[in-house]
């Protein structure tokens, strides 16, 4: 009987240690349940179903700042609150590769609403403006003004030039 108990104890310990060292290959970002202007990262599978067995410390890069976040039952809360609407670029590297997502987090009345933003739009919008300006020379000034507004909007909402290019390169790598 003691050997069965010991076997069960070893089996549960191995399952627990396996769950702590699981890779996070996909994640979902939502507002924290406490409604304290903080974002929560939820570990998910490829179908965006939460994985509750993820526990422990994992390293994430949030808008260029690397930090350790503690997952408990598949959920981790980012330590810093958001003061206003902003772009948030979240990246996680593991043995399976780099997994990153760009979000525009809209803050209104204390509630956060993250919108996933495909990083290829960061490339397509300026290219479309360039093509329109090239084809229709009358729209050159309008295209330049729209491009400057695009750059100002990105920069004023937390998407720095370095993060902008990092987002584009990670998006292109994942596309191909």
Domain positions in the chain:
22-117, 119-176
Per-residue pLDDT tens over the stretch 135-168 = 888 888 888 888 888 888 888 877 777 777 877 7
pLDDT of residue 28 exceeding 60, the answer is yes
Per-residue pLDDT tens over the stretch 80-112 = 888 888 888 898 888 877 788 889 899 988 889
pLDDT of residue 119 exceeding 80, the answer is no
Query: Three-class SS of residue 154?
Result: helix
pLDDT of residue 113 exceeding 50, the answer is yes
pLDDT band for 29, please (50, 70, 90 cuts): very high
Query: Three-class SS of residue 109?
Result: coil
- pLDDT given at position 75: 93
Q: What are the φ and ψ backbone dihedral angles of 25, each rounded to 5 degrees?
A: -105, -10
More confident residue, 52 or 168: 52
- pLDDT given at position 106: 92
- pLDDT given at position 174: 67
User: pTM for the complete prediction?
Assistant: 0.71
Report in angstroms the alpha-carbon separations of 54 from 17, 118, 167: 10, 26, 26
- pLDDT given at position 18: 42
CATH 2.60.40 fits 22-117, yes or no: yes
- pLDDT given at position 9: 45
Give every CB contact of residue 42 below 8 A, 6+ residues apart in sequence.
27, 28, 29, 30, 50, 74, 75
């Amino acid at each position: 009987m003691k050997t069965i108990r010991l076997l069960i104890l070893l089996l549960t310990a191995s399952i627990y240690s396996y769950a702590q060292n699981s890779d996070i290959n996909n994640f979902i970002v939502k507002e924290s349940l406490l409604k304290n202007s903080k974002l929560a990262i939820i570990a998910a599978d490829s179908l965006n179903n939460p994985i509750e067995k993820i526990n422990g410390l994992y390293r994430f890069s949030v808008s260029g700042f690397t930090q350790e976040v503690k997952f408990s039952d598949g959920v981790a809360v980012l330590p810093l609150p958001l003061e206003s609407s902003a772009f948030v670029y979240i990246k996680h590297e593991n043995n399976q590769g780099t997994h990153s997502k760009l979000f525009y987090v809209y803050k209104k009345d204390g509630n956060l609403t993250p919108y996933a933003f495909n990083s290829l739009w960061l490339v397509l919008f300026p290219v479309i403006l360039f093509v329109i300006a090239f084809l229709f020379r009358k729209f050159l000034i309008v295209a330049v003004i729209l491009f400057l507004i695009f750059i100002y909007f990105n920069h004023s909402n937390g998407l720095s030039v370095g993060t902008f290019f990092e987002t584009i390169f990670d998006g292109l790598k994942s596309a191909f």
